[in-house]
Structures are given as C-alpha cells and as structure tokens.
Homo-oligomer: A and B are copies of this chain.
Amino acid sequence: MAGAPVKPTPLLKDELDIVIPTIRNLDFLEMWRPFFEQYHLIIVQDGDPSKTIKVPEGFDYELYNRNDINRILGPKASCISFKDSACRCFGYMVSKKKYIFTIDDDCFVAKDPSDKDINALEQHIKNLLSPATPHFFNTLYDPYREGADFVRGYPFSLREGVPTAVSHGLWLNIPDYDAPTQLVKPRERNSRYVDAVLTIPKGTLFPMCGMNLAFNRELIGPAMYFGLMGDGQPIGRYDDMWAGWCVKVICDHLGWGVKTGLPYIWHSKASNPFVNLKKEYKGIFWQEEIIPFFQSVVLPKECTTVQKCYIELSKLVKEKLGPVDPYFLKLSEAMVTWIEAWDELNSAGEDSNVPAKK
C-alpha cells in the first residue's frame, strides 16, 4: 500500500546457489563480490578438465570439471554436455538449495538510470518470492511491485496469483541476438532500460536466455535441462532455448508462472557471430518445427509432477521431432537419463549424497 514501509527483500543466503559455467575472466567475480560473496557458488567447468580455474579468495564455492561429472554420474554423465556452457545444468542437479541463480562470466554489474549498481540477485529474489499472473494480462505490469497493483477490469479471483517458478533477467549493452542478427547489426547495443517485470501469459512461449536467469529449483529444477550441445553434437546455443520451451510448457501445465524483465546485467562482449552461425545453423531450421511442436503439446492430467511431465515430453519429442532429425532421438533419451540422474542425486530424505570438491 502506498506509504507503507517497503519490506526488505530476504537474502535467502542458505537457500540459494549461484551456478556459473566456467570462469574465464577473473574480473567477473571481483566485480560481483559485494553481491555474491555471501552465497555459495557452484562452478561447472565446461572445457579441458586439466586446466585450473582460479577463484579469488573469500568466495565459498565448489568446482566440478568433466572428470567430476563422470565420476559422480557414471554412465549417466552422457546427458551432460561437454565443451559447452550447457554443462551448467549439472550444477542445478548437484545443488541442494531451493533457488538457483545462473549467470555467464561475461555478464557484469549494470547500472540503473540513476547510475546506481543493480543488485541483480536481489531483484531475482523479489521476482521469485512474489506471485505471477499468467492467466490475465495486467497492463501496469507486475501488480505486486511497489506502487503498482491490478488495474480496473482485472478479475478479483485471479489476484492471488500463482507461484513463480522462473525469473528471466535481461541484458544491457550487447543484446542476446542470433548470429544472423549479429552479422546484420554488428553495432547495435541495448541501451533501453525498461523498468518492468511481467508474467509471460499461459500458452505463450518465449526465448529463455541462460545468461541471467533464476528459478525455484524445488518447483521446476528437473525441467531445467540444457540438452545436448557442444562437443559431438550438431548444434549449440540452443541449450537455454530448449530448457525454456520445456519449462514453459510444464509451468503452464502445473499452474506456475514465468516472469521476465528486470533485473538487467551488463553483457560485456558479443560472441563471435561466425562461430555462432556454425553452432546455430541447424537450430535456425529446427526451431521452425520445434516451436509449433511445443505450442501444440498437451500434457495429460496424470502428469502431476515435473518428472512425470518431463518424461512425457521426452516421449513426445521422440515421436514428433524424431522425424525432423535423429538428433532428437538422442536428445529424447538424454532427457530420460537426465531425470534418472536428477532423481538419483535428489532422492527424498538424502541431503549430501554428492561429494563436493573444493
């Protein structure tokens, strides 16, 4: 209510892990130190396991390389991508926390229009702790933000909202463009700070970017699989997209919300558009079939857990996308392996079945 004291955002120090796929840039953690130092980090090294990642003093972290993943998952390690940032999803699996924030190592602290450093994590926590409104659009955006509410004509029965499963943050400076757009607009920068958070409506898909992303692992974790990318795979740069399509369809089915908008991070450098084009090439074709597929997915009522939804989805992927390319048969199997591995590491009652390494 206007004039009422603003409640401080809880830090969730013991309930949130930060997952980072490799750190090539030492400045990265230094820049985030004031915001990250009090959290536990899970670093998943995407490349050569013989290389050592240096983590500055003062951070609480665990680090996994390919050898660790192979050791922990055994043959099921096949579902985790190698030499690709998609490997980060291993970190979601080994975390024991309720919430995950994942960020790329070329994402720095952005400034808001008043030139103040943006605490991205705090905004993600706000987004995740307040409900979402997927069933009807609110024209003043997130009705739970200070100074906002539901507008005239918004049904009262929907004002409690639903639990928020995902908070998708955005990027100032280098926008998250595909290779063709990067090639055509090499100089375009995103300088528009849009001061909004909104719920993506039920039934609507969106391109989920993994650069600056938080989610409720207890709710949607098992669907946050970043697929098979990178080494030995015909495709890259669709890891987060794949997860986003699966997650959205499952959130819609289970009645949870996905928010997008604030917070911004500063995306410091554009990846090489030529390399990206090679990675994306097949995805650009395939997404024309994948998206109509996800738009038409109807999960049966019996799918009452994320795991059940995801296994059902894997069957549909095999059946409907298998004919597009044999890659989807492999991906469909990897989806099942992922769930098996998730359940193995996250079986009820157990709390420390993964030997962390520091």
Query: A residues engaging B (CB < 8 A)?
Result: 1-3, 113, 136-141, 145, 147-157, 168, 170, 175-178, 180-181, 184-185, 187-196, 200-209, 237-238, 240-241, 244, 260, 280, 284, 287-288, 291
Contacts and interface: CB of A to CB of B under 8 A. Distances in A.
| Number of copies of this kind of chain in the complex | 2
A245 to B, nearest CB: 9
Given A193-B195, A194-B141, A206 B136 contact: yes
Contacts of A156: 180, 284, 288
Main secondary structure, interface of A, reads: loop
Contacts of A194: 141, 194-196
A136 B2 contact: no
Given A137-B200, A139-B206, A188 B1 contact: yes
17 contacts: A2-B185, A2-B189, A136-B204, A139-B168, A139-B170, A140-B190, A147-B190, A147-B192, A151-B177, A152-B207, A152-B280, A155-B288, A156-B180, A192-B195, A196-B196, A201-B203, A203-B203
A153 B139 CA distance: 25
Given A203-B204, A204-B136, A187 B153 contact: no
A294 to B, nearest CB: 10
Nearest to A200: B137
